[in-house]
Amino acid sequence: MALTIDAAFAARNFEELYGYSPVGVWSAPGRANLIGEHTDYNAGLVLPFAINRRTFAAIGQRTDGTVRVASEGFHGVIEVDFGAQSTPTLEGWSAYPLGVVQVLSELTGHAVEGFDIYLASDVPTGAGLSSSAAIECAVAIALNDIWDAGLSRSDIALAGQRAENTVVGAPTGFMDQFASMFGEPDSAIFLDCRSMDVRAVPLGLGDFEVLVMDTQEKHSHATGGYASRRKACDSAVDVMGVSTLRDITTDMLNETQQKLDEETFRRVKHVVTENVRVENAVAAFGARDFEAIGELFAASHASMRDDFEISTPALDLAVESSLAAGAVAARMTGGGFGGAAIALVASAQVPEVMTAVAEAFTAAGYQPPLQFTVVPSQGARRDI
Ligand code: ADP
Ligand code: MG
């Protein structure tokens, strides 16, 4: 039987490793994005939901300025002295949790007296389901409680993003952290990244399930394509003389095309049209109009494949083969360059769609994707 990752598991392993009981266990979920990709850092619209896979953080307090962190399935117990004069160098996976410690200390002015941290997670890493936000938000909500810092859920989300941007060095937006902090059962989170307005949108999925097809192609957001897409968006903002790409509407696309090189224009076109698709998707989910949702997902995927160029042949295959087997909607999800695609599938058809997708991958010479369904779930919380 597979290992059950939960708060009790994290508490038990904490005790075994450090020899005393944690003061508490907190957790935060990963997320799947229904629609709205690479729009968050362009002050646009996104519609993710928190998934029923979480990262648990069991935490104990120390008094010597030292922070020790271990994570189930990750190598070693990383130890860093926050009491020393200079800021410690944070590297590898521990930059995520320790980066949050550093950023929250800066934000709240609270000195780091020291912690022992034990992490356990069933969010797959590098799969486009934001294991990074899950780990950041679990640690951040814990420190906010332990320090009685009084930060709002939005503040905690932004602190997680700041740790990822400045300590890990990945120039990602804040969609993932907002989904992880504000997730609600049966609902998606409609976030306007300009006004920072957050609204839970009941999904009414009924007999439909969200199937994740993780290609297991790993990405890195600190290097490569993600960063270069972000740069292209920033350069378009400069050339167009706007403050963000949100200021560019669809009826300005012609004028935009004349001012930008061909490739940069396609990047902008993706972002501008994706914002419209998110708004339409909120309406379509409200009306339970799965045909419209299917069309919006298809247009979003095509835009990411052809204009933003962040899909991969394996992601395209996951989308195409799931649709051919009866999914009503499918698209790649997350930052791209690998990771996962999602499909909306009638519950009764899930097994046959999974089989068809696996067979299509084998026939194309790929390793079959890891497939599982996810359920919209509660955001970050204290468990014990
Ligand atoms: P994603 O967020 O899509 O899963 P990222 O590249 O943004 O992918 O983040 C994945 C990285 O986050 C991992 O390679 C690891 O460094 C770190 N990470 C995520 N979850 C954990 C965990 N439970 N324990 C330790 N490190 C983790
Ligand atoms: Mg991530």
pLDDT tens digits, residue range 285-295? 999 999 999 99
Say what the pLDDT of residue 170 is: 87
Distance 132 CA to ligand 1 centre (A): 4
Mean pLDDT in residue range 253-274 = 97
> Is the CB of 36 inside a 6 Å radius of any atom of ligand 1?
no
176 is catalytic: yes
Residue nearest to atom 8 of ligand 1 (CA): 126
Any idea which ligand is nearest the CA of 221?
A: 1
Q: What proportions of the chain, in percent to the nearest 5, are helix, strand and coil?
A: 45, 20, 35
Say what the pLDDT of residue 89 is: 83
Mean pLDDT in residue range 35-50 = 97
Neighbours of 304 (CB within 10 A): 23
Contact 45, 192 (CB under 8 A): yes
Please give the number of the atom of ligand 1 that sits closest to the Cα of 339. 3
**Euclidean distance between CA atoms 46 and 273, whole angstroms:** 12
Please give the number of the atom of ligand 1 that sits closest to the Cα of 334. 3
**Euclidean distance between CA atoms 334 and 30, whole angstroms:** 11
Q: How confident is the model at residue 204 (pLDDT cuts 50, 70, 90)?
A: confident
Residue with the two structure tokens 């850092």: 41
Q: How confident is the model at residue 218 (pLDDT cuts 50, 70, 90)?
A: confident
Any idea which ligand is nearest the CA of 128?
A: 1
Give the relative orientation of helices 350-363 and 313-324 as an angle to the nearest 10 degrees: 140
> Is the CB of 130 inside a 6 Å radius of any atom of ligand 1?
yes
> Is the CB of 179 inside a 6 Å radius of any atom of ligand 1?
no
For residue 245, the 8-state DSSP code is G
Mean pLDDT, all residues of the chain: 95
Mutate which of 3, 93, 131 for ligand 1 pocket (most atoms within 8 A of beta carbon): 131
CA-to-CA dists, residue 306 to 5, 148, 215, 299, 311, angstroms: 39, 48, 19, 10, 8
Residue with the two structure tokens 């990383």: 78
Distance 50 CA to ligand 2 centre (A): 13
| DSSP letter for each residue of 303-361 | IIIIIS----HHHHHHHHHHHHTT-SEEEE-SS-SSSEEEEEEEGGGHHHHHHHHHHHH
Mean pLDDT in residue range 200-215 = 95
What would the two tokens of residue 299 be? Answer: 């247009």
pLDDT at 223 over 80: no
Residue nearest to atom 17 of ligand 1 (CA): 93
> Is the CB of 71 inside a 6 Å radius of any atom of ligand 1?
yes
**Euclidean distance between CA atoms 103 and 129, whole angstroms:** 23
**Considering 122, 176, 214, 307, which one is annotated as catalytic?**
176
Q: How far apart are the first and last CA of the chain?
A: 25
Distance 69 CA to ligand 1 centre (A): 14
- Residues of the chain with pLDDT > 70, as a percent, come to 98
Distance 115 CA to ligand 1 centre (A): 20
Write out pLDDT tens, residues 294-336.
999 999 999 999 999 999 999 999 999 999 999 999 999 998 9
Mean pLDDT in residue range 28-34 = 98
Write out pLDDT tens, residues 57-81.
999 999 999 999 999 999 999 999 9
Please give the number of the atom of ligand 1 that sits closest to the Cα of 127. 3
